[in-house]
Structure 1
Amino acid sequence: NGDSFLESLLCVCVCVSLFPSCRYALGMEDGTIPDSDITASSAWSDSTEAKHGRLSTGEGDGAWCPAGAVFPSGSEYLQVDLHTLHFLSLVGTQGRHADGHGQEFARSYLLRYSRDGVKWITWKDRWGQEVVSGNENTYDVVLKDLGPPIVARMVRFYPLADRVMSVCLRVELYGCVWNDGLKAYTAPVGHVMHLSGMPVYLNDSTYDGSIEQGMQFGGLGQLCDGVLGGDDFIQTKELRVWPGYDYLGWSREALGQGSVDIEFHFEKTRIFHTMQVHSNNRHTQGVRVFSKVECLFKPSILQPWSSPALTMPVPLEDLKDPSSRPISLPLGGRPAQILRCKFFFADRWLLISEISFFSDFINFLLTHTLSSSSSPPSPWPDFAAVTPRAGLPVAKDDSSNTAILIGCLVGIILLLLAVIAVILWRQYWKKILGKAQGSLSSDELRVHLSVPSDNVVINNTHSYSSRYQRIHTFPDDRDREGEGEYQEPSALLRPRDHRDSFPPTQEEPPPYPGSPPYPSLSPPVSPPLPPSVPHYAEADIVSLQGVSGNNTYAVPALTSSSPGADAAPLPELPRQCLIFKEKLGEGQFGEVHLCEIENPQDLPNLEFPFNVRKGRPLLVAVKILRPDASKNARNDFLKEVKILSRLKDPNIIRLLGVCVSSDPLCMVTEYMECGDLNQYLSHRVLLDKTGPSHNTPTISYPALISMASQIASGMKFLSSLNFVHRDLATRNCGERPIKIADFGMSRNLYAGDYYRIQGRAVLPIRWMAWECILMGKFTTASDVWAFGVTLWEMLSVCQEQPYSNLTDEQVIDNAGEFFRDHGRQVYLSKPAVCPQGLYELMLSCWNRDCKLRPSFAHIHSFLTEDAMNMV
């Protein structure tokens, strides 16, 4: 009808005219952006700090100037936080003039932006160039059009220089509020069309998310940049770009299915009225608009998809004109935070230039409560009561407004009470810490887990090097960095009702009445090490979170020069070939299942490093990511797949294939069919200790050394790639042949081997080096420590836990004794059947100084050459 036509026409006009006019100054120059939202990596002085980096103003000394000289690589930055998503189309920069006294300006700079404050993206122009031309003098303002534009909440300016020099900067941002609320879309990558031998590239060239397995996700690109493609998709509106630039297009044949699936993620729940899709319709070249669209709606991340799907047919008989056009699709006022839409092919190609939404923001939970209280349950709440349509009067519900006002006031009061409680708590602990700093001697200090913040706080009056005088947060399930932020140690935080737990000395009484003395071991003498013992430096590593929700590996960032970085992609396995047998374990983000592949020979692309007899099924372990896992967990899962595909060693569990073409994401690994090493050894006795036995299986000392050598060989391979395992133990080693894995934390059988912090993080503290427990510092040297404990387990045939005579808290206290190095630390005792030379190797693995611990190459050489001669 006429009303709907006018509404659609108005929406199209708004979409077309919005972006060219979205060039308003956002408030650096006029002060709309407050000083608190302008920060920087450093400042040369108080008069050149970040708040003075405002365009065309001369406060302070006239600009923001970083503390040191700027290098060509660029590490200093000026940051502006806009608090909400904005569409940025222009930036302006200026040097420091200061009434003619300034001499500093930036000739070029980088722009980085973020939509969530976590993931930072480097802006690139349409030709892939990152460096932006800056200023030529100290006073002129240089404006830079952002093509493509940016959708971001936070922006950073990184000044650059072709040599080491001092720079200063003033900036302004131009754009408008991003009312659409769209923060990411997921879609298949575009394809290449060949017309008369000329390639037409229909890819999303400005997409700023990730691309894996033919899918792009977690970003925004050309589908929301405001540029509408023309009738002829070969012609472009931008100069000096390739044919097809204005469109994202897919081939039905290349895609292998009859529809293109696109998923849209929004900041918050919205009420969707209309979706506008600008599509090409040049049917003379096999391109037509879609025949229909099916959309599913997800009101929030934790809620299920709507059912059934909303189907919207497109009458193709009315679209005989080959002109490109916007297609208006009514969404019926449904609420959603995530939309998943299938666009069905009508011809060989589907080309889309722009997708926009006509929607309103609404508090979904409040609306659902109001509507459901006065009407029977339904799949969709009645939003007509709270969402007025254009041109229709709506009665005002005073009671609803009163309830909202009361709720807001209560929320504000609770927030103020929480802030006051935090301030009082900080002041209380500040007094306690000040008293402890002045009254406790170093001999009275103990190290404990900090209850308020999960930190380990160390107070030490001796002057160790700054490498040890640090405080780290414990790594937990949500940790994404290998190490915490260094700070100077403050005073001791001691939990209530905790008793000291170390052997009494002549200078101090027993810790508490009736406590038995713990066995006292003299400090070890480190064995002589070869001159080639490496200096362990902390690698630039990234924590890799496994599907079970625990940090399993810490790995270096992949670069083109990284070993194995060019490894071939893993094969996509058909899901129907995986037959479920049993669930092995589960964690925060997924599960580990035992599955069976009946005829592995029928899968020529399956990577398995051993021959399987014909007719015998292959058992595999399958890690499955839950469909409702967060986007970060999904990204980590795909990163884990990419990294584990590099681990091809006889003593490392192999990744055999993946299922990532659809949810749920799966990775298929070898299965430890003979069980793990801990279970294997715990059911045996040492042949050297008991002699032959007809009732109990035995194992010989040479067999143990051979197994230990295989573990050292696998760890040598990991350390050569600068990988840090972080949970090496017999429970994480497969038996026959020995293969290092990472399933220990996801199995309930070994729950007692992990210490839980405040109900969140689980840590294998009995295998962890002291610097891991106290500072969260994980390196290859800490893996060497864990190998020493693993070797002790093996020579004790896994009959008891390490430090079985100490509680978990006492193990943590023992780490503090290693830190203080007063000779009171407790070491694992020598196993019954263990030569002195091999025990000295263990002790060297537990050296307080991580630089003096042996390398895995040395350990492997020792076990293969020398240990067998010590029996």
Structure 2
Amino acid sequence: MSRGQILDEDISASSQWSDSTAAKYGRLDCEEGDGAWCPEIAGEPENINEFLQIDLRSLHFITLVGTQGRHAGGIGNEFAQTYKIKYSRDGSRWISWRNRQGKEVIEANRNAYDIVLKDLEPPIIARFIRFMPVIDHSMNVCMRVELYGCEWLDGLVSYNSPVGQQMTLNGQYIYLNDSVYDGAMSNSMTEGLGQLTDGMCGLDDFTHSHVYNVWPGYDYVGWTNESFSNGYVEIMFEFDRTRNFTTMKVHCNNMFSRRVKTFQKVVCYFRSESDWEATPISFSPVMDDVNPSARFVTVSLYNHMASAIKCQYYFSDIWMMFSEITFQSGDDPTHKVDDSNTRILIGCLVAIIFILVAIIVIILWRQVWQKMLEKVSRRMLDDELTASLSIQSETFTYNNNSPSSVPSEQETSSTYERIFPLGPDYQEPSRLVRKLPEFSQTSEDTASTNTSSKSPPVSVQEGVPHYAEADIVNLQGVTGGNTYAVPALTMDLLSGKDVAVEEFPRKLLTFKEKLGEGQFGEVSSQIKNNSLHL
């Protein structure tokens, strides 16, 4: 309960005082909600049957329980002083727990915060457990509970057998009945479990017991052959489902000096569906007339598949006494476990995988399609640029013979038609380099001076060095156009002339300021020492 192994939906109650005191808050040592489960008490105490119910989902062997009141950080003071326990293996037939002396009421808490543990003797084999506080008018009741035990691996839900009998030994009565059997009892015991499954093996001397303050013979269930004309005792065992049985172990008393021995032979029949198998198995243990100690007799069941077993134990002396019977079994390999949740989980995983695969395919398809579009766009751009540049190079002329030969601003500002968007990828600049137009070489002209009229445009002389003036050239790039003042020396370089540039000694320069830096180094302004000669 406190560890959360039992889910909230497996905890229920007959009533609740409020939503904050619901059944799910009845976990030991838990302070959630208002700190505990509190029932809504109405009516007379003797007619009240409030309970907190726990569904363990399968049969469990419960040996210890714990209870606690509602402390709620010091503001609560409700607890149960006594309570009862009811249990069920099928959810329909409820059984009141009693200790080995037959007492039902269990002493519980004396304050709201201490944990009180109670050993269950005999232990409970059940799936459903109910805690039922004993209520009076003196105080309100709240509970937090815990269960301690393990899963019941035997799978045995009931055994049917003749009732145990009474022996007289040296004037003393030895009661060999099943005192904790929780089924119906008359001439036989049906639909219940008892001392043969309580986990306690009897002593060598059957007149003594592990349990304090009980009658002689308490640990054993025994029969005399005088009551069975056929010479055997028949016990039928019912299980929760069809199982694959390997062995059966029977703890027997062998105090042969008191005419008590282990069984001489056992014959077992198996039922898997509705009919008993026609062929039983038989086993005869080795009889021991030397060692009087009690012992387990192991019977091989040869992996028989069954949901019920009926065994006939034959007498080898006057008395036969059993204290414990256990079965070892595995699951039926043909048994289909309810895997609906597993199927749902697998279906969800498959759907998620398909969605992820579809997303990946769409992404890859878009990338491939985008690359194809880029290739087509580049090819179209190359074709248009080639055609445009060819036309411009053919119509671009440079004539210095007349003023009309000077190209207009519109002609020198021609651009690259259109730039197609190429997506996020970077366009290689090398693919868009414009070829500079070739200039026609003309003879040198001489300008004449006329004071009575305006001077005509001055023609450009070839080979004349420029110092204070620069040709204005409109350079068009991929990202737009810019107008730069290009020195004549640069124009000579661009026009293809061979110009020898003399290297100036750096030791004659004095650093003035840094202009910037780029991919090919640093650009700075420097002054020549002494005087400036050009």
Q: TM-score, normalised by structure 2?
A: 0.62
1:136 CA displacement:
0.5
The residue number in structure 1 matching 2:285 is 314
Partners of 2:196 and 2:339 in 1: how far apart? 39
Question: Which structure has the larger Rg over C-alpha atoms?
Answer: 2
Q: Give 1:155-554 correspondences, 5 Å limit.
A: 155-163=129-137, 165-212=139-186, 214-300=187-273, 302=274, 304-316=275-287, 318-364=288-334, 409=343
Aligned partners of 1:366, 1:83: CA distance in 2, in Å? 17
**Aligned mates of 1:406, 1:79 — CA distance in 2:** 26
- Give the C-alpha shift of residue 359 in structure 1: 1.0
Q: Which has the higher strand share?
A: 2
How far did residue 320 of structure 1 move?
2.8
Question: What amino acid sits opposite 1:209 in the alignment?
Answer: G
Q: How far did residue 259 of structure 1 move?
A: 0.4
Asked if structure 1 preserves the Cα contact closer than 8 Å seen for 2:41 and 2:48, the reply is: no
- For 1:109-188, list aligned pairs within 5 A: 109-163=83-137, 165-188=139-162
Q: Which has the higher helix share?
A: 1
Supply the distance in 2 between the matched residues of 1:250 and 1:162 (Cα, whole angstroms).
46
Q: Which residue of 2 aligns with 1:711?
A: none
Cα distance in 1, alignment partners of residues 335 and 236 from structure 2: 22
Are positions 1:34 and 2:7 aligned together?
Answer: yes
Cα shift readout 1:151-182 (whole Å, capped 9, x = no counterpart): 00000000003545310000000000001101
CA distance in 2, matches of 1:337, 1:39: 31
2:340 and 2:20 mapped to 1: Cα distance?
45
> Counterparts of 1:216 and 1:163 in 2: how far apart (Å)?
40
Q: CA deviation at 1:279?
A: 0.1
Alignment match, 2:511: none
Give the Cα separation in 2 of the matches to 1:406 and 1:199.
57
In structure 2, the gaps of 5 or more residues are 348-534
2:56 matched to which residue of 1? Answer: 82
Aligned positions of 1:818-837 closer than 5 A: none
Q: In percent, how many aligned pairs have the same letter?
A: 49
Matched, 1:99 2:73: yes
CA gap of 1:407–1:137, structure 2 versus 1, over 3 A, is: closer
Q: 2:345, 2:18 → 1: CA distance?
A: 40
Distance 2:328 2:86 in 1: 29
Is the contact between residue 74 and residue 159 of structure 1 (CA under 8 Å) also seen in structure 2? no
d(CA) in 2 for partners of 1:60, 1:405: 34
Inter-CA distance 364–293: structure 2 relative to 1 (3 Å threshold): farther
Superposition RMSD in Å: 2.2
Unmatched 5+ residue regions in structure 1? 1-27, 368-403, 414-871
Question: Contact 1:190/1:203 (CA < 8 Å) preserved in 2?
Answer: yes
Distance 2:38 2:227 in 1: 52
Query: Is 1:270–1:364's contact at 8 Å kept on the other side of the alignment?
Result: no
1:138 is aligned with what amino acid?
A
**Greater length-normalized contact order (CA 8 Å, ≥ 6 residues apart):** 2
Who is 1:64 aligned against? 37
Query: What is the identity, as a one-letter code, of the residue corresponding to 1:264?
Result: F
Amino acid at match of 1:314: P
Distance 2:298 2:259 in 1: 22
C-alpha separation between the residues in 2 aligned to 1:237 and 1:39?
Answer: 37
- Alpha-carbon contact 1:71-1:164 (below 8 Å) kept: no
Q: Secondary structure at the match of 1:171?
A: strand
Aligned: 1:52 with 2:28: no
Return structure 1 stretches of 4+ with deviation > 2 angstroms: 161-165, 254-257, 363-367, 404-413
The letter for the 1-side match of 2:294 is S
The alpha-carbon deviation at position 358 of structure 1 amounts to: 1.4
**What corresponds to 1:691 in structure 2?**
none
Kindly provide the CA deviation profile for residues 806-835 of structure 1, in whole angstroms up to 9, marking residues without a partner as x.
xxxxxxxxxxxxxxxxxxxxxxxxxxxxxx
Task: Please say if residues 53 and 171 of structure 1, whose CA atoms lie closer than 8 Å, have aligned partners that are also in contact.
Answer: yes
Specify the alignment match of 1:535 in structure 2. Answer: none
- 1:363: Cα distance to partner? 4.2
1:252: Cα distance to partner? 1.1
CA contact (8 A) 1:92 1:141 kept: yes
Residue identity opposite 2:209 in structure 1: T
TM-fit CA distance, 1:255: 3.7
Partners of 1:97 and 1:114 lie apart in 2 by 30
CA distance, structure 2, for counterparts of residue 97 and residue 407 of structure 1: 39
In 1, are the aligned partners of 2:79 and 2:142 still within 8 Å (CA)? yes
- State TM-score, norm by structure 1: 0.39
Instruction: Please report how far the alpha carbon of residue 315 of structure 1 lies from its aligned counterpart in structure 2 after TM superposition.
Output: 2.1
TM-superposed CA distance for 1:103, in Å, is 1.5
The amino acid that maps onto 1:193 is M
1:43 match: secondary structure: coil
Change (3 A) 1:326 1:306: same
Aligned partner letter, 2:281: L
* Secondary structure of 1:99's aligned partner: helix
Cα 1:101–1:124 shift into 2, 3 Å = same
Residues 252 and 73 (structure 1), Cα distance of their counterparts in 2 relative to 1, 3 Å cut: farther
Note the alpha carbon deviations across 1:178-202, whole angstroms, 9 max, x for none: 0110110101000000111111110
* CA deviation profile, 1:671-696 (whole Å, cap 9, x unmatched): xxxxxxxxxxxxxxxxxxxxxxxxxx
| 8 Å Cα contact 2:11/2:24 also seen in 1 | yes
Shift of residue 364 of structure 1? 3.8
Q: How many angstroms apart in 1 are the aligned matches of 2:272 and 2:344?
A: 26
Amino acid at match of 2:37: W
**Deviation (angstroms), 1:308:** 1.7
From the superposition, tell whether residues 306 and 155 of structure 1 become closer, same or farther in structure 2 (CA, over 3 Å): same
